[in-house]
Amino acid sequence: MNAIHEAQREAHRRDDGLVLVCSIGGKPQVATFALDALLRQGVNVKRLHAVHLSTDDPRLKRSIDILRAQFATHPPYVQRGISFESVPIRPVRQITDAGHPVYGKPMMRIDDQAAPDAIWMTFNGLIVRLKTEGMAVALCVMGGPRLIGLQALSAASGHVFARRPMLASVHARRHP
C-alpha cells in the first residue's frame, strides 16, 4: 500500500492526527509544500516540526520567521489548528546519570565534526518523543543540506517498522 494512504488511514483512525517533521534550510516552502500535499490527501496533520541548523544564520532565521508567520496567519493552517515547532540541531554534550541527553548550542554548520551525530541525535530524539506521545509521524527531508536528510533517514530507519507508520521523502538536485 502507498505510504501516503497508510499515513492517511492512521491519521483518520487517531484523534490526534499526524505530525510532519521537516528538515529546513533557506527555503521554507519545502515544509509548506509537503504539508499542503498531505492536507490535499485528506491527512489530519496536527503539527509541523521544522528541524534546522542555528538561526544565527540570517537565511535560516528568515525561513523560521516565515514559517511562524504562516502558521499564525495562513487560513488553512489556522482553521485546522496546525501548530508549528522549531527544532534546532544541537550536539549532545553529556548524558545524565538517568540516561537523558544534555544538549549544547545549536549547530551553525554541517562541516563541524560533531554535526553528523548531532543531526542523528536530534532527529532520533524528536521521533522517539513523538512516538512516545502516540503520534503518527511523516518525515520530509527535502530541505537543508543533504547530510541532514541522510542522517534523518538513518535515525528514522529504526522507527519505520514500528506500530505507527512514517513517511519519508528525499530529493537530490540534478547536476548538469
Q: How many helices (H) and strands (E) does the chain have?
A: 6, 7
So what's the pLDDT on residue 122? Answer: 93
Res 29: pLDDT: 93
Nine-digit cell string for 86? 522549531
Q: Cell 515547532 belongs to which residue?
A: 85
CB atoms within 10 A of CB 170: 14
Predicted local distance difference test score (pLDDT) of residue 162: 47
Is residue 145 within 8 Å of 111, Cβ to Cβ? no
Interatomic CA distance for residues 54 and 68, integer angstroms: 16
Per-residue confidence (pLDDT) for residue 13, from 0 to 100: 52
For residue 104, what is its C-alpha cell? 549544547
Asked if residues 143 and 175 have their Cβ atoms less than 8 Å apart, the reply is no
Per-residue confidence (pLDDT) for residue 10, from 0 to 100: 55
Distance of alpha carbon 119 from alpha carbon 25, whole angstroms: 14
> Of 99, 163, 88, 169, whose CA–CA distance to 132 is shortest?
163
Alpha-carbon distance of 133 to 135, in angstroms, equals: 6
Give the span between the Cα atoms of 44 and 7, in whole angstroms. 9
Ranges of the chain with pLDDT below 50: 1-4, 12, 161-166, 168, 170-176
Angle at 23 between CA 75 and CA 86, to 5 degrees: 60
Predicted pLDDT of residue 99:
84
The Cβ of residue 155 has, within 10 Å, a number of other Cβ atoms equal to: 20
At the second CATH level, the architecture of 3-169 is 3-Layer(aba) Sandwich (3.40)
C-alpha cell read off for 145: 543540506
Q: SS3 for 117-150, per residue?
A: HHHHHHHHHHHHHHHHCCCEEEEECCCCCHHHHH
